[in-house]
Structure 1
Amino acid sequence: MQRYFIAPEQFGEHTVMIDGEDAHHLLKVMRMKAGDEIIVCDGLGKSARAKLTLLQAGQAEADITEWLGASAEPLWKVTVAQSLPKGDKLETVIQKGTEVGAAAFIPFQSDRSIVQYDGKKEEKRRQRWSKIAKEAAEQAHREIIPHIGEVHSWKQLLQRMAEFDLVLFCYEKEGGAAGSGIADAARSFHRSRGESQEASILLVVGPEGGFTSQEAEQALAGGAQLAGLGKRILRTETAALVGLTCLMYESNEMGGA
């Protein structure tokens, strides 16, 4: 069933209002009509089944027929901190990371970031990134839209680390040594937390050239655990998705034991 994220204020007691691009998508792309059913979400975890009653250019209305049950969102709220990569790689990380289960994304600059931050373009880029996250969340039947944070400096990201229950710093020099991998760290953390325990995790991924040894030392001093992603060197966008998938698996979101 087609799913749409709408603002909380668009929910009434028994009805919902859908406008803008979503209304256009219903009418012109999906070619729905009165009587068809959709799922609507407020992006904060509340969702309902609704039956369309009105469709016209730029606006649709629907009656709520059923409030949906328990959230299918991961218990581990993973924020992916991704050093700004070249081209559209960050878009790939946001799209696929949303599908896998990321709760939020923080773009940041590190010593070896090739892309130079341009404050004048940030708001436009964030709007595009947020749209990509929304569309991916709808496709993946998520109940929240991952938050896209402002671009951070390395210093700002270091200061944020204290906010999380676990910080994993993806560092290729950890390689495939026994006990040094991200799965090992996640498994140990899972045992310490127990089953059915929510947690906030920050997954820190470097740029194309990797992190410097100084950044690794600073992250370690800031409370992060250095974690490898195996013996092979991964592209930055691959590393983010592999790390996130490991965390989802180790928290039993993908059938792990």
Structure 2
Amino acid sequence: MQRYFIPKKAWYDDRIRITGDDVHHITRVMRFTVGEKIICNDENGVAAQCEILEIDKDFVVVAILHWLEENNELPIEVTIVHGIPKADKFEIVLQKGTELGAHKYIPFQSERSIVIWDKKKWAKKLQRFNKIVKEASEQSHRSYVPTISNPMSITELIEESSQYDLKIFAYEEEAKVNNYHTFGSILKQINSNQKLLVCIGPEGGFSEEEANILKVNDFHPIRLGPRILRTETAPLYALSAISYHFEEQ
């Protein structure tokens, strides 16, 4: 059943008034008609099965039939910090990472980031990025839509990291040593309902200076397998491993 994330302000007792891009999707893409059923979520994770009552070119009105008791989120909150990559790689991470359960994304302006997002570029990109995570959340039947923070410097990242129970960063030099930290051993240190910060570098990885700063501030360097992964592959590997560890064993 198709799912839509509708802001709480559009919920009125047993009715929901849907506007914006979702109207186009309901009427033109899915070609739903009066009497058909959809699922509506609000931003707090509340979900309900609904029936379409009225369709207009500017809005759709649905009736709440019954509330759904469900939670499709990972048992831990995972934030992906990603060194800003080139081209559309970050969009791939947003889409696939959302399907895999990421709770939040933080773009990181790394020393080796080739791309720089100024405020003007960021405002335009954020609008598109938010649309990507919303649609991916609907497709994968998430209970929440992940949030995307403004790009951070390493100083801002260190300050932000104080909110997390465990902090790790994928460091390619860690994959080359014999006495390395496996991702599995790190995951055993965190429990359900805790918060994990996973940092991935851009193309070229973290600089030595950045790695040292992270280590000093209690970030654990880890390897994600013996092979060197692309910047857009690494967060998806991490999220898949987290899902397996907490949900499928």
Q: Give the Å deviation of 1:117.
A: 2.4
**What residue in structure 1 maps to residue 228 of structure 2?**
233
Aligned-residue CA RMSD (Å): 1.2
Measure the CA separation in 1 of the matches of 2:217 and 2:117: 24
Per-residue CA shift, 1:151-180, capped at 9, x if unaligned? 111111111111101111111111174651
**What residue in structure 2 maps to residue 185 of structure 1?**
186
Measure the CA separation in 2 of the matches of 1:84 and 1:170: 15
Aligned length: 248
**1:175–1:181 Cα contact (<8 Å) kept:** no
Structure 1 runs (4+) greater than 3 angstroms displaced: 176-179
**What residue in structure 2 maps to residue 157 of structure 1?**
157
Q: Give the Å deviation of 1:20.
A: 1.2
1:1-257 matches, cutoff 5 A: 1-175=1-175, 177=178, 180-186=181-187, 188-190=188-190, 193=191, 197-251=192-246, 253=247, 255-256=248-249
Per-residue CA shift, 1:96-131, capped at 9, x if unaligned? 000000001000111111112222111110111000
Measure the CA separation in 2 of the matches of 1:240 and 1:70: 26
Q: Give the Å deviation of 1:182.
A: 1.6
Q: Give the Å deviation of 1:232.
A: 0.8
SS at match of 1:32: coil
Measure the CA separation in 1 of the matches of 2:56 and 2:31: 11
Q: Give the Å deviation of 1:212.
A: 1.4
Measure the CA separation in 2 of the matches of 1:231 and 1:73: 29
Q: Give the Å deviation of 1:35.
A: 0.6
**1:172–1:233 Cα contact (<8 Å) kept:** yes
Q: Give the Å deviation of 1:44.
A: 2.0
Q: Give the Å deviation of 1:25.
A: 1.1
Q: Give the Å deviation of 1:220.
A: 1.2
**1:162–1:222 Cα contact (<8 Å) kept:** no
SS at match of 1:204: strand
**1:5–1:42 Cα contact (<8 Å) kept:** yes
Measure the CA separation in 2 of the matches of 1:222 and 1:161: 9
**2:174–2:180 Cα contact (<8 Å) kept:** no
**1:78–1:203 Cα contact (<8 Å) kept:** yes
Gaps in structure 1 of 5+ consecutive residues = none
Greater shift in the superposed pair: 88-97 or 164-173: 164-173
Calculate percent identity across the aligned residue pairs: 39
Q: Which amino acid aligns with 1:246?
A: A
Measure the CA separation in 2 of the matches of 1:112 and 1:80: 18
Q: Give the Å deviation of 1:14.
A: 0.7
TM-score (norm 1): 0.93
**1:161–1:223 Cα contact (<8 Å) kept:** no
Q: Give the Å deviation of 1:71.
A: 1.5
Measure the CA separation in 2 of the matches of 1:60 and 1:23: 6
Measure the CA separation in 1 of the matches of 2:144 and 2:4: 11
**1:112–1:210 Cα contact (<8 Å) kept:** yes
Q: Which amino acid aligns with 2:85?
A: P
**1:203–1:244 Cα contact (<8 Å) kept:** no
**2:180–2:222 Cα contact (<8 Å) kept:** no
